[in-house]
Amino acid sequence: MKRNVKFIGNTSELGAGTRGSSMGLDALKIASFSLNKQFFRTYKVEQIPNLNDRLFEDIKTNTAKRLDGIVEMYDRISKVVKQSLQNHHFPVIIAGDHSNAGGTIKGIKEAIPNERLGAIWIDAHADLHSPYTSPTGNVHGMPLATAIHEDNLACQQKKPSKTTIEHWNKIKGEHQRIKPEDLFFVGVRSTEKPEDELMARNNIPNVKVPELTEKGAATVAEQALNHLSNCDAIYVSFDVDSLDSSISVGTGTPVPGGLSEEQATQLLVGLLKNPKVVCLEFTEINPVLDTKGNVMAETAFRILEKAVKQIEKTINN
């Protein structure tokens, strides 16, 4: 059956430590006016209603900020993603902060409950914290922990309140959505000890940028796909802070030593040639923090445009 690309806009930024990632989609649209004015005419965006008004409310969960709202967003996101996949679409999600990725993973798994799901995480950060380990309490550092159903109590540093634990258990669900052995990191270079220990304990591979530069992005894409060869479906998450901080000024947590635009493009195109990839997410574009104008969104748009061209080729072959 013929599939088509479906753009989903998710402007929630409840999980971020700084404000402005809710404007990432608009920044991409502004970038498109000078780079490809037809793009968002061709690809209409279905918007998921957000709960960003709750940013003005007091925080009710002590070691995972605004987790009550994020529980609701997980449900909203997962329903849209699940429906999109069941309608034979390829979801391309433009998200606010990276906490939303946990809801995307939930939706994919609900659409294909009996299939083995893998994730390729292109990011400066591992996002494996829990309310028991997070130094900041920002939930954009926790989505993969919800996906692998992991509290990491062996590295506990914080004491969540009863309310926090109740909400955390809701977004984790009853079972793993992804097995730790079905994760593959690219570009992760800013982690804390609890994440390092969790990655080591589960032998989660992480190809850092110097290794990718030496091997080539296409080779690393092949390596990631080979690692997940036993998976039935693959989700690719692209956080723009995976790019070098000379490019990624317009994001909440830029880190030096990241990917170039060319490397990110080659990596994504290489991954998206594989028909097992069923969903792509771009996240953490924050024009409020971009001191160079709209450079981050312009860079992300060029990468996105080439990625979508490859998706179209793959799903139409």
Q: Is the pTM of this model over 0.95?
A: yes
Is the Cβ–Cβ distance between 75 and 81 less than 8 Å? no
Token pair 């409310």: residue = 57
Tokens of 51: 């709960």
- At residue 211, the pLDDT reads 98
In tens, the pLDDT along 231-264 reads 999 999 999 999 998 887 878 777 889 999 999 9
Confidence of residue 156 (pLDDT cuts 50, 70, 90): very high
Is the Cβ–Cβ distance between 270 and 212 less than 8 Å? no
Confidence of residue 281 (pLDDT cuts 50, 70, 90): very high
In tens, the pLDDT along 81-92 reads 999 999 999 999
Sheet holding 117-122, edge to edge: 45-48, 4-10, 89-95, 277-283, 233-239, 117-122, 183-186, 206-207
Q: At what angle do helices 217-227 and 261-272 cross, to 10 degrees?
A: 40
Burial class (CB in 10 A: 0-12, 13-18, 19+), 280: buried
Q: Domains along the chain?
A: 4-315 (3.40.800.10)
Amino acid at 296: M
Amino acid at 175: H
CA distances to 13, 34, 40, 50, 309 from 304, in Å:
21, 15, 12, 23, 9
